[in-house]
Amino acid sequence: MTLTKRIIPCLDVKNGRVVKGLHFESIKDAGDPVVLAEKYSNEGADELVFLDITASDEQRKTLKDLVRNVASVINIPFTVGGGVKSVDDARNILLNGADKVGINTGAIKNPPVISELADLFGRQCVVVAIDAKRNYSTKEDATLFEDGEKKFWFEVFIFGGKKETGIDAISWAKKAEKLGAGEILLTSIDKDGTKDGYDILLTKSIVSSVSIPVIASGGCGKSEDMVEIFEKSNVDAALAASIFHYETLGVHGVKQFLKEKQIPVRL
């Protein structure tokens, strides 16, 4: 049986509003999270991701009332991330209606927390988010790629893409899986908000280095971009924001297009 590919709208939330940026900067408003969540759920989204994008940077917890309000209007799996550092943070999010917890900065700062979350809530609940960007400086223990004459590696960033870590994304993905991550949400900072397609090389490299599901994120501007990422990497799901928020395309329309292109999706 062929597993269907998941299409996941993403709500990046700042100050209670959905926003969208470019390379994690130049943020602009995109609407009310509750209204958008209900719309996407009704349009046939397979899951929804809600990221409180400034929680870690502002050293605060995720907006739990907002999470509860979003959960109350949808009937699809719901992943929430932002500011998760501990089992208590995760429990809070799950008690307010999320099905899965996304963790990025908290996991880099304290990797054993991944195992704690997996042991307590089950692996399927733990989504490790990896924000990665190309780095052209030399690093001996990183997986290197070639760009013409130059070599580069993919570096993990934390605090909503604001701070580099010196950690190789591929090694970190493998480690996260070993520690108990059930899924990886992989965002290319280079591609974020550009609408010129996903980072195929990054996605393909991470997918082939782990055996847990990977969600591709960053760069989707049209349905063809999703077709391309599914055809060129064995990624399990594609996440997008701009094309859904600004009414470029509805979720159902995107899925219809994918089905016509022989990508297995649930309509």
225 counts as catalytic: no
Which one of the listed residues 52, 89, 131, 199 is annotated catalytic?
131
Distance in Å from the first CA to the final CA of the chain: 16
Query: Which residues make beta-bridge pairs with 146?
Result: 151
Pairing type for strands 214-217 and 183-188 reads parallel
Contact 61, 90 (CB under 8 A): no
Q: Of 91, 78, 15, which is closest to residue 49 (Cα–Cα)? A: 78
Active site residue 131: yes
> Per DSSP, what are the bridge partners of residue 79?
49, 100
Please, are residues 49 and 81 in contact by the beta-carbon 8 Å criterion? yes
What does the block give as tokens for 56? 């870690």
CA atoms of 239 and 45, how far apart (whole Å): 10
Bridge-based pairing of strands 150-158 and 126-135 is: antiparallel
Tokens read off for 133? 């960007």
Beta-carbon contacts of residue 49 (< 8 Å; ≥ 6 apart): 8, 9, 10, 11, 78, 79, 80, 81, 102, 185, 215, 239
d(CA 81, CA 94): 11
Residues 127, 208: Cα–Cα separation, whole Å = 18
| Helices first, then strands: H and E counts in the chain | 10, 13
Task: List active site positions.
Answer: 12, 131
